[in-house]
Amino acid sequence: MTNSTNNKNIYKDNPPIIKTIGLGGAGSNAIDRMIQFQIDGVDFIAANTDKQALNLSEANTKLLLGKDFTKGHGAGGDPFIGETAAHETLNELSEIIENTDILFITCGMGGGTGTGSAPVVAEIAQDLGVITVAIVTMPFNFEGNHRYSTAIQGVSILQNHCDTLITVPNERLLQIVPHNVTLDVAFRMADDILRQGIQAISEIILKPGLINVDFADVRMLLHKSGGAVIAIGQGRGNSATMDAVRSALHHPLQDISGMNYANGLLVHFTGGHELPMSHIQQAINEIRASIGPSAQVTLGATVEKHLKDKVQIILVATGVGGHVLDHVIDELPSKTNHIQITETTHNQQNLESIDEMQQVFSKYQTVQHNLDTPAFLRRNKIIDKNKTEFK
């Protein structure tokens, strides 16, 4: 029996504790979407300064941030208020995060609660020795320059307080969806990108496979890795594996060029039947051509019979460093980005998945986004509650 199999048996009896905390309005909406998709093995926490919005969350654990400071009335788009509220709720946050193996932080950058509290939450987790992965969205251009500038400041601070940071530019959604898509559906699509990233990494750890990726592998990949990109691709039929790889490598919502900077790459295949080794080898060769020669590749594969002739691939490239922030700054609203999908079939696949997503979303009532987002904080053995990073 291999060490990987032994580790998997250990994790089956004592599975890693994975938690996701959604901060602010956008973060809470994102975890509601994850709960609706019934992601197994992940505990969900909603944290907000807005008591009314928090009460609408489907999360089992809810935390009102800064109840004395904000009186439950929200942060008003001010990150300083979000940060201060998180400081006030330090003990409660620590109790929730303690004894966690991986903490996902999700929020929308640019507002008050999320932008201000995310770094605080991340630093608490770091002090407790928890692997901390932040997956955050950047604002749509129509939300304005001020919100985008606030988001950039938030990302730059958050990057210093978490192991891995993945940013998702909402604006790119508008370049691949039908022009008549509603605002509500656009925001739910943004939520679903966050859901896909968290679900993908969680299932890689928790689900047994043909080629196991255990928690130790993922921990090593994510620990102090800096910026990261994640891409998901699908294919079907005889060329499903290669189509999935090419779809992921031309992912319209992530800057896959960042893979050139990566020092670690997690590649996970899921197929409806056993995947031919020759197909896996060909796919890995194509992926390696897109990354640096020294990048360490961790491979996993799982069979899900319901996929039938489909193959899905998840790519998580870590260690891209400052490239993530540089890329975010390059996408200021004053610039127009035309994301070209070089393979027509890939574009069609994306549109098909969006149609499927819209059908799924139509089943659920959605809480109106309060466009509020992620956050940060400072924590040592003793915390100076007057010390803030947002001025």
User: Which residue, chain included where needed, has tokens 């993945």?
Assistant: 166
308, two tokens: 């039938």
Check residue 173 and give its pLDDT. Answer: 78
CATH number for the domain formed by residue range(s) 3-206: 3.40.50.1440
Check residue 182 and give its pLDDT. Answer: 85
Check residue 294 and give its pLDDT. Answer: 82
Summarize the confidence of residues 323-336 as an average pLDDT: 47
The dihedral region occupied by 365, where left means phi > 0, alpha psi between -120 and 50, and beta the remainder, is beta
Domain ranges of the chain: 3-206, 224-341
- Decide which of 3.40.50.620, 3.30.460.20, 3.50.50.60, 3.30.1330.20 is the CATH code for 224-341: 3.30.1330.20
In sequence order, what DSSP letters do the residues of 299-340 get, joined into one string? EEEEE-GGGTTEEEEEEEEE--TTHHHHHHHHT-TTS-----
More confident residue, 2 or 140: 140
| CA–centroid distance for 300 within its chain | 19
Give pTM, 2 decimals.
0.79
Lowest-confidence range among 113-117, 240-244, 310-314, 349-353? 349-353
377, two tokens: 């904080």
Beta-strand pair 226-236/310-318: antiparallel
- Number of neighbours of residue 382 by Cβ within 10 angstroms: 6
Residue in 55, 56, 54 with CA at minimum distance from that of residue 23:
54
Check residue 259 and give its pLDDT. Answer: 77
Is the pLDDT at 292 greater than 80? The verdict is no
CA–CA separation, 157 vs 389, rounded Å?
8
Which helix H or strand E contains 77, and what residues bound it?
A: none
Looking at the chain, how many residues does it have?
Answer: 391
CA–CA separation, 77 vs 108, rounded Å?
12
Check residue 349 and give its pLDDT. Answer: 39
Check residue 282 and give its pLDDT. Answer: 92
Residue in 99, 83, 102, 86 with CA at minimum distance from that of residue 42:
102
Q: Are 132 and 162 in contact (CB under 8 A)?
A: yes
CA–CA separation, 141 vs 353, rounded Å?
24
CA–CA separation, 339 vs 229, rounded Å?
16
Sorting pLDDT into bands at 50, 70 and 90, what band is 141?
confident
Check residue 254 and give its pLDDT. Answer: 67
Summarize the confidence of residues 331-345 as an average pLDDT: 34
- Write the CA distances from 231 to 97, 114, 157, 161, integer angstroms: 27, 24, 24, 23
Sorting pLDDT into bands at 50, 70 and 90, what band is 227?
confident
Q: Are 371 and 111 in contact (CB under 8 A)?
A: yes
Phi/psi for 180 (5° steps) reads: -90, 10
Summarize the confidence of residues 175-194 as an average pLDDT: 79
The model's pLDDT over 143-171, given as tens digits with 9 standing for 90+, comes to: 899 999 999 999 999 999 999 999 888 88
Check residue 136 and give its pLDDT. Answer: 93
Residue in 96, 127, 163 with CA at minimum distance from that of residue 379:
127
